[in-house]
Structures are given as C-alpha cells and as structure tokens.
Amino acid sequence: MILLLLPHLRSFHGVFNVFQYITFRMAMAALTSMVIIFVLGPWFIRTLKSLQFGQVIRNEGPDSHFRKAGTPTMGGLLIMVSAIVSILVWADLNVIYTLVLLIGMAGFSAIGLIDDVLKLRQRHSKGLSARGKFLLQIGLAAFLWWILHASAMPHLDTLFPPFFKDWTVALGILSLPFFVFVMVGTTNAVNLTDGLDGLAIGCSMIVAATYTILAYVSGNAIAAHYLQVASIPGSGELSVVCSALVGSALGFLWFNSHPAQIFMGDVGSLGLGGTIGLAALITKQELTLVIAGGVFVMEALSVILQVGSYKLSGRRVFLMAPFHHHFEKKGWDESKVVIRFWILSIICSLLALSTLKLR
C-alpha cells in the first residue's frame, strides 16, 4: 500500500524515497506487526478470557500441563492479523508472490481456526479429524501451486540442492506432489512443535528470520548470481513478508513466554508453518528448509518413529512424543527445554545460511 502512495509522498519531500528500498520496508514491516501485537495483545487476552476460549489439555500429556487448562487460546489469530496488516502496508502488492503468500497465510490460518473452534465447542483436544485437516491442507497447497504455475514462476519444477552450485534436479510431473508434500509437511511439523510455552513461536521466528535473508538474496539478481542460488525476480518482496512474520512472532512471544498468558492454537501453528513452507518453495530453498527447520524435522520424525515403533513392535522409542515431551518426562524444566530448542534452532539456521557459501 505504501508503494502505491509513494508518488504522492515524493511530491511532499524527497525523504519518502526511502520507502522504495526493500531493506527499509523489511525493518518497518517487523516493527509494525510487533507494535500491533503489543497494543492489541492485552485487550485480545481479556476478550478471550471473557468468552471462555480456554485451552483444552489432552489427557495423555505431562502432568505439569494440566494447570495450563483454561489459558486463552487462538492467539495465532492475533499473529496472523498483525502480520497481514503489516504486509498490506509495506509489501509490494503488485508482485504475485506477495499475494500468494497472503493467500497461503490466510488459508492455512483458516484451517487452524476451524480446528480450534471445533475443539472449543466440543471441549475436547481433537478438533478436525486428521483426514479432514489433511485434505484441506492438500487442496490449499495444490491451489497455491496452480497459481504459481499459471503465473509462469521460473524454476517451479526445478530443485536446487544446497552445497552444489551446478547441480539441479528437474521434477517434471512430480512438481505438484513435491510442492504439496513440502507445504503439508512443514505445516504439520510446526503444529507438532507447538506444545510448550514459547517453543513453536520462538523456533518459527528464527526460521522466518532465516528466510528473510534467503528471500532477499533470491530476489537480488547480483547476489543470487554471486552466491550461485536460483534467481527469482520479485521474490525479494518475500523478505518483507517474512520480516512482518518475525515482528509478529517477537511480539507474541512477549505474552507466550513461560508461563504463557495465551496460546496460539492451530490457527497460529498452521498459519506459521504454511507461510514458512511457501516462502521456502518460492525462493527455491525448500531443501535448505530441512536444515533451517531442523527442530521441526526432529519433532515430526520423533512422532513418526514413536507411532511406527509402537505399531510394529509394541515398544516406544521415546518416553513421549513429540520429542520435547521426552525431555519433560526425563525431568527437564519446561523453560530449559524451550531455550535449548531455541539454541538448536539458531544453530540449524546458521548452518542453513552457511550453505550460501558452501557451493
């Protein structure tokens, strides 16, 4: 929106030329979304409490979690709204990738919102059926792929493995299923990580910050050529989108840190996961996401291993899955688990960024 007003603002003073620079708009997008959270957060929490929109705790969880029952949930709605408002103000809405990110962010958040509302109505931790949730996610991911395909996005059906500067993989007819797999996998991996105060939002903030950098590089032809990564004209605007997400996450962490005043619910975790996965796909850094999102991968694999092992042998690999609950069962304090997972997430993101030079 600000770019649409830029010609008029320039007529008042030349200082407004700064709005055309992505780096400036990145910083302002993060600040805007964070300020919105800080301003609306207390009111939003009071409103959810008055409506009795409290978290339902699953019976098989750690005993320490039962005292969290009734904590306001659906805080992810505040994350997504603040990010979307900031994006509408600071990003270039004429770039197709900005619009696709907005659609994806809103769409996956809507799926999570439906799930959260059903949980509250039923007073149960189940919500949408697994099949229903997966079908909605697959359908939305396929729709997003179709938009990008119709807009002739360059390299949509090509993989650019990290660590190799000249090696690419043509996906061909596998482009759509791969796109859907990354989207659905990332979305649910973030959702599985959302189990402790500040865990998922902190890790999401770190990964979003990583893709702020990767998107800027991808959209800058000179930097992309120098670093031997895929150059996607216009994708630099995604750095503004990711910055807005970082600001929202940082603001929400103020209220979500232990002991949490509010939980983000599936509306937040699915919205965050969907946005991160989509940013990775558009910047052609989807394989790098395996490294940057190492904590998310670890959490998802822990559930797969736990379920698979129990069904095949009747034995559990971990004391409890997802992985963060395993350490709680071993006696680690919740805050210690969260902070150590943040540290691990930072390490993974630094490793992901190092792949820009290790080619």
Q: What is the pLDDT of residue 310?
A: 86
pLDDT in tens, 100-121: 999 999 999 999 999 988 888 8
Radius of gyration of the chain measured on its C-alpha atoms: 20
255 occurs within a structural domain:
yes
Q: What is the pLDDT of residue 1?
A: 67
Characterize 27-62 residue by residue with b for buried, 16 or more Cβ atoms within 10 angstroms of its Cβ, and e for exposed. ebbbbbbbebbeeebeebbeebeeeebbbbbeeeeb
| DSSP letter, residue 159 | E
For residue 191, give the 3-state DSSP assignment.
helix
pLDDT in tens, 14-59: 565 677 889 999 999 999 999 999 999 999 999 988 887 766 655 5
Q: Could you write out the DSSP letters of every residue in 29-88?
A: HHHHHHHHHHHHHHHHHHHHHHTT-BPPPPTTS-GGGGGGTT-B--THHHHHHHHHHHHH
189 occurs within a structural domain:
yes
**What does the block give as tokens for 2?**
């600000």
pLDDT in tens, 59-94: 555 555 555 666 888 899 999 999 999 999 999 999
Q: What is the pLDDT of residue 274?
A: 96
* Residue 197, φ and ψ in degrees, nearest 5: -60, 115
171 occurs within a structural domain:
yes
pLDDT in tens, 230-246: 889 999 999 999 999 99
- Of the ranges 202-211, 277-286, 323-332, which one carries the lowest mean pLDDT score? 323-332
pTM: 0.92
Q: Is the pLDDT of residue 202 over 70?
A: yes
Q: What is the percent of the chain with per-residue pLDDT over 90, rounded to a whole number?
A: 64
The boundaries of the domain holding residue 84 are: 2-354
Query: 262 near 188, Cβ under 8 Å?
Result: no
302 occurs within a structural domain:
yes
237 occurs within a structural domain:
yes
**What does the block give as tokens for 281?**
């796909």
Half-sphere exposure (CA, 13 Å, Cβ side) for 113?
14
Q: What is the pLDDT of residue 126?
A: 72
| DSSP letter, residue 158 | E
Query: 91 near 240, Cβ under 8 Å?
Result: yes
9 occurs within a structural domain:
yes
Cis amide linkage into residue 154, ω under 30° from 0: no
CA distance 241 to 214: 12
Which band of pLDDT confidence, cut at 50, 70 and 90, is reported for residue 282?
very high
Which band of pLDDT confidence, cut at 50, 70 and 90, is reported for residue 250?
very high
Q: What is the pLDDT of residue 312?
A: 85
CA 22 to centroid of chain Cα atoms: 21
* Angle at CA of residue 75, ends 69 and 78, nearest 5°: 165
359 occurs within a structural domain:
no
CA distance 347 to 359: 19
Domain count, the chain: 1
For residue 170, give the 3-state DSSP assignment.
strand
How high does pLDDT run on average in the chain?
A: 89
44 occurs within a structural domain:
yes
